Structures are given as C-alpha cells and as structure tokens.
Amino acid sequence: MAQATLKVILLNHTKSPEETIAHAAKLCYSPASIEQLKGTVEKSDNEKFVARLLQLGHLSPLEHAIFTFGIEGVSRACSHQLVRHRIASYSQQSQRYVGERRKKEHETFDFVVPPSIEASGKREWFVDKMREIQDWYDELVEVLGDSGEKSNEDARFILPNAAETKIIVTMNVRELIHFFSVRCCERAQWEIRALATEMLRLTRAVLPSVFFKSGPNCVKGACTEGKMTCGHIEEVRERFRNL
Ligand SMILES: Cc1cc2nc3c(=O)[nH]c(=O)nc-3n(C[C@H](O)[C@H](O)[C@H](O)COP(=O)(O)OP(=O)(O)OC[C@H]3O[C@@H](n4cnc5c(N)ncnc54)[C@H](O)[C@@H]3O)c2cc1C
C-alpha cells in the first residue's frame, strides 16, 4: 500500500520578477529605449511601482513573469481540476508509458485518501478497495497482452480518481492571481485548495509585493460567493494574512 501526500516544489521562476514586470509596464508609458529603461528599472523601487500597477488594474505586464512548480502526491481528481486552468503549461506523468502493475506482493499503485474517509474510520476499507483495484488492473494487463504502453493504455480505465499523479505546471503571475482567487477559496474542493494554498505560500516568499494580498477574493475585499459564502470570512482572511 502506498498512500501519497501532497508535495509542491517551486522548481523555477523568472529571475527578478518585479524588475521584469516593471520594465514591461514602464515601456507602455515611456519614450525611452528598452535598453535605457532597463537601466532605470534596475535602479528603481519596483516594489512600490508593481503595487501601484495592481491597484490600477494594469495586469498584462504581470504575464511576463512565470513560476514553475513540481507537484506530487495529488490525485487524478485534483489534477483534472488543475488542468482546467488554460493559461498555463503542463507536463503530467503518463499512465500509458508508466504502468501501475504490482511489483511486490500486497503492493498497490500510489493513491490519495481523502481526510473525510480517514475521519470516518473507513481508511482500512478504502485501502482494501485499492488492493482489489490493483488485482483487477494486473489481471487486465495480463489479458491485454502485457506489452507495455499498449496494455497500460486500456488497463488504466480501471484505475480510480484516487490514483496519485505527478505534474509540472508553469503559470504566469496574472494567471496565478486568478488561480489563487478561485482555488484558495473555501468553496474549492479540499485537495486543490491545499495545493493552491501551498503554491501561494511559495510564490509569496519570492514576490511579496504582488502576492501579499493574494488568495480568495475575500482577502482583498468582500466575499464574491453570494449565498454560497463559507460564512467565516474573518477566519479565512486571518489564515491568508499569516500564510
Ligand atoms: C468551486 C468551483 C467549482 C467548479 N465546478 C465546476 C463544475 O461543476 N463543472 C465544471 O465543468 N467546472 C467546474 N469548475 C471549473 C471552472 O468552471 C473553470 O473551468 C476553472 O475554474 C478554470 O477557471 P477559468 O475558466 O476562470 O480560467 P482559466 O482557464 O484559468 O483562464 C483564466 C481567465 O482567462 C479568461 N479566459 C480563458 N480562456 C478563455 C476563453 N476561451 N474565452 C474567454 N476568456 C477566457 C477568463 O477570464 C478566465 O477566467 C469549478 C471551479 C471552481 C473553483
């Protein structure tokens, strides 16, 4: 049995993201050459300038700075929600090229156990079902001819949403702000919320001038969820203030 837990690594990001954003924005307003402007931007207080851009809602310069994350220990249910965000690049471990056949007795593919199932006392029952699915998967691979990707590609149809996946994602800063606003919200599903919150923690450490007020919409102003509001806005604000 192999229960997976969330792991997020910030693999890479634009060098000097504030400078890159400020350079792009100032170009819009300046008669100077790009080279001249670069010199000015390098010596400027870009933190204040970038904060002002956010206030003005001039957000396209934020698209020039990108962050790349390595994500492990999430379920296919979670990755399916993640890849709905279209302004991003993804590379995901393939269930065709990487088979899930049992290598040792009693072993299973890696999977995520939802906290609600742990809390309900049904964890062992759930793990048993994963073992059963592993048996079915192995049986299918045998039936389909055990020829690597050819059998994997159809045997995977028996795998559950709980199956663990690994994915590398790159998003620009503007898309990250949007992603955090919908996926850090209490209304988002618990797993993608945990993932988005960890991504926010990592990006805020690099670019606080942009991400200090990022998170669900209620962190910046009123709750936008109407009747669906979680109803504990102050608690949520406090959590994101102290991330
Ligand atoms: C709480 C919650 C519940 C959800 N429930 C469901 C559900 O039941 N069923 C379901 O199918 N999905 C559901 N979703 C997914 C949701 O509908 C979006 O597909 C997902 O959140 C991606 O966000 P997005 O479309 O805003 O933006 P992204 O793809 O991240 O794009 C960012 C922004 O770019 C703009 N944009 C991108 N592409 C286009 C385009 N083609 N045309 C115009 N503007 C564009 C939009 O302004 C968009 O907001 C849910 C999401 C959340 C947070």
- 28 or 103, higher pLDDT: 28
Residue 166 backbone dihedrals phi, psi, to 5 degrees: -125, 140
Residue from 47, 141, 46 nearest 101 by CA:
141
Average pLDDT, the chain: 95
**167: three-class secondary structure by DSSP:** strand
183 part of the active site: yes
Nearest CA to ligand 1 atom 11: 84
pLDDT at 124 over 80: yes
Task: State which residues form the domain around 214.
Answer: 7-91+165-241
Name residue, tokens 């929600």: 81
Q: What is the distance in A from the centroid of ligand 1 to the CA of 46?
A: 31
Same domain, yes or no: 51 and 122: no
Indicate the pLDDT class of residue 106, thresholds 50, 70 and 90: confident
Domain of 234, CATH number, reads 3.30.1360.170
Is 2 inside any structural domain?
Answer: no
- Identify the active-site residue in 174, 183, 193, 204: 183
- 145 or 13, higher pLDDT: 13
Nearest CA to ligand 1 atom 8: 81
Same domain, yes or no: 150 and 49: no
Same domain, yes or no: 72 and 174: yes
| pTM of the predicted protein model | 0.96
Q: Which of 129, 145, 162 represents a domain boundary (last residue)?
A: 162
| Predicted pLDDT of residue 2 | 86
Q: CB of 69 within 8 A of CB of 9?
A: yes
Same domain, yes or no: 141 and 169: no
pLDDT in tens, 6-22: 999 999 999 999 999 99
Considering its fold, how many domains does the chain have in total? Answer: 2
pLDDT in tens, 53-80: 999 999 999 999 999 999 999 999 999 9
Q: Which of 121, 143, 162 represents a domain boundary (last residue)?
A: 162
